[in-house]
Amino acid sequence: MILVVYRILYGTDFLERSIRSVYGGADKIFVGYSSEPWSRPANFPNIRDIEQSPPDVIEKHFDLLEGKITIFSHQLNTPKGEFNYLYKQAVDFLGIKPDIVVFMEPDMVWGPGVFKSFVEEAKDKSHLFAPQIEMWKTQEYRITRKDNV
């Protein structure tokens, strides 16, 4: 089983495209989202006042009755152990351990066919890392890697 786990505080601009980019290659997708940052700074804006909530985006674009996507709210006081927490929540919900786990951020979007290739390559490895091209809103704001690519 291939499990994709999302961790979200804010940044739902690319969430639909991100989920679509892994949807065909994942067996289950778990989306853990928070409403406040770990540090809870004074005067931090209510995130839902500035963007759509992860459940709103997902429910608008995906059929949750298919059972492939599970959304749950979580709030921790520190980032330490957060991925372990999300993984445990997913495994407890599923009742079995997955063969492959891919941790995602909501702005990570795989090119067509790339996620499936990544999963194939990961099958005989203990771990694998895939650097991403970072964008903010549009291609205009991307963080270049090298040679302006």
- Going by the DSSP 8-state scheme, the letter that residue 9 receives in this structure is S
CA–CA–CA angle 33, 25, 149 (5° rounding): 80
Q: Is the pLDDT of residue 148 over 60?
A: no
Is the pTM of the predicted complex or chain greater than 0.85? Answer: no
Contact 95, 103 (CB under 8 A): no
Total number of residues shown for the chain: 149
- Contact yes or no for 4/45 (Cβ under 8 A): no
d(CA 101, CA 97): 9
Q: Mind listing the pLDDT tens digit for each residue in 23-65?
A: 999 999 999 988 777 676 777 777 667 778 899 999 999 999 9
Phi/psi of residue 50, nearest 5 degrees: -110, -15
pLDDT digits (tens, 9 = 90+) for 87-131: 999 999 999 999 999 999 888 889 899 999 989 988 888 877 776
Those residues with Cβ within 8 angstroms of residue 121's Cβ, 6 or more apart along the chain or in another chain: 128
Computed over every residue of the chain, the mean pLDDT equals 83
